């Protein structure tokens, strides 16, 4: 029996290794090309005067370090449900700080926990309650990571755009207040449309899936041996779940901005 189990494990490892080489072979050449692409991104941002040349370089370096650390600890983390939950909490905390700091320089950044948490918790709770998501770290961590990543993007974009819109159209907010609007309603009247555009990337990805792009979950499942129907079903779930998560996150961000909980760092734009 032991020999049979070992044989099956070896066979599965060989299959996964073979599948991985069908996408991109992990060789020194891959590292060289990745480095060249990173330098190309830095150069393009610099030459284009985008103001993000150093940010691109820092992002690439951080990605190298963080992925290296995760690669070393992930096999230990997924072995226990508790350590997996702790890892998810770390991801959540980093997402809150990243999105919050992107929205504002002030102490209000901690409010980013609300849109991210309210976006992902119902989805995770539904998956766990129905048994669709096995209670194993190897399942929970990637699903939670996908949802947290979507909520992070929606929160940072919606918050930044809403606050920028209020700053640029301050006079219109004051005009709405003069007409009798409450502070919250006046702010939302001006910033809602700009913040709502934060959902466009998720909408475009969902609309064009299979025609323009083949997302990672779909390709990964195919390489792992799943049928096209299985891979398509899981990818469809991921896209719809991200739409739900990001929609909720944007609505919560708007409410926070409208009520003056999240500001520019120097106080409410109006009020």
Three-state SS string over the chain comes to CHHHHHHHHHHHHHHHHHHHHHHCCCCHHHHHHHHHHHHHHHHHHHHCCCCCHHHHHHHHHHHHHHHHHHHHHHHHHCCCHHHHHHHHHHHHHHHHHHHHHHHCCCHHHHHHHHHHHHHHHHHHHHHHHHCCCCCCHHHHHHHHHHHHHHHHHHHHHHHHHHHHHHHHCHHHHHHHHHCCCCHHHHHHHHHHHHHHHHHHHHHHHHHHECCCECCHHHHHHHHCCCCHHHHHHHHHHHHHHHHHHHHHHHHHHHHHHHCCCCCCCCCCCCC
- Band (pLDDT 50/70/90 cuts) for residue 2 is very low
Which percentage of the chain shows pLDDT scores above 70? 88
The pLDDT score that the predictor gives to residue 17 is 47
Quickly state the pLDDT bin for 192 (edges 50, 70, 90). very high
Residue with more model confidence, 144 or 230 = 144
Query: Where does the pLDDT of residue 268 fall: very low under 50, low under 70, confident under 90, or very high at 90 and above?
Result: low
pLDDT at 20: 46
pLDDT in tens, 197-220: 999 999 998 888 877 777 777 777
pLDDT digits (tens, 9 = 90+) for 95-153: 999 999 999 888 889 999 999 999 999 999 999 999 888 888 888 898 999 999 999 99
What pLDDT, on the 0 to 100 scale, is given for residue 270?
54
Task: Provide the token pair at 200.
Answer: 């466009």
pLDDT classification of 221: cutoffs 50, 70, 90: confident
Instruction: Decide: 195 and 158 in contact? Cβ < 8 Å.
Output: yes
């Amino acid at each position: 029996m032991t020999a049979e189990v070992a044989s099956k494990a070896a066979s599965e490892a060989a299959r996964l290794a073979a599948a991985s080489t069908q996408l991109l072979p992990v060789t020194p050449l891959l590292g060289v090309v990745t480095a060249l692409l990173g330098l190309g991104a830095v150069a393009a941002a610099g030459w284009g005067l985008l103001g993000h040349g150093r940010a691109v370089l820092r992002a690439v370096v951080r990605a190298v370090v963080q992925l290296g650390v995760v690669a070393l600890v992930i096999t230990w983390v997924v072995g226990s449900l508790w350590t997996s939950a702790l890892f998810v909490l770390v991801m959540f905390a980093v997402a809150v700080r990243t999105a919050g700091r992107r929205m504002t320089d002030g102490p209000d950044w901690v409010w980013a926990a609300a849109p991210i948490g309210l976006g992902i918790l119902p989805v995770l709770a539904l998956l766990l309650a129905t048994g669709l998501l096995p209670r194993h770290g190897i399942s929970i961590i990637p699903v939670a990571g996908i949802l947290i990543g979507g909520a992070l993007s929606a929160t940072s974009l919606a918050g930044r755009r809403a606050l920028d819109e209020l700053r640029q159209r301050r006079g219109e907010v004051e005009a709405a207040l003069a007409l009798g609007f409450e502070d919250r309603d006046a702010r939302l009247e001006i910033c809602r449309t700009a913040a709502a555009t934060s959902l466009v990337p998720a909408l475009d990805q969902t609309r064009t899936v299979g025609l323009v792009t083949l997302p990672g979950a779909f390709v990964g499942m195919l390489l792992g041996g799943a049928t096209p129907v299985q891979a398509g079903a899981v990818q469809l779930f991921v896209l719809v779940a991200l739409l739900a998560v990001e929609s909720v996150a944007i609505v919560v961000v708007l409410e926070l901005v409208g009520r003056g909980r999240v500001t520019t760092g120097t106080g409410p734009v109006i009020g």
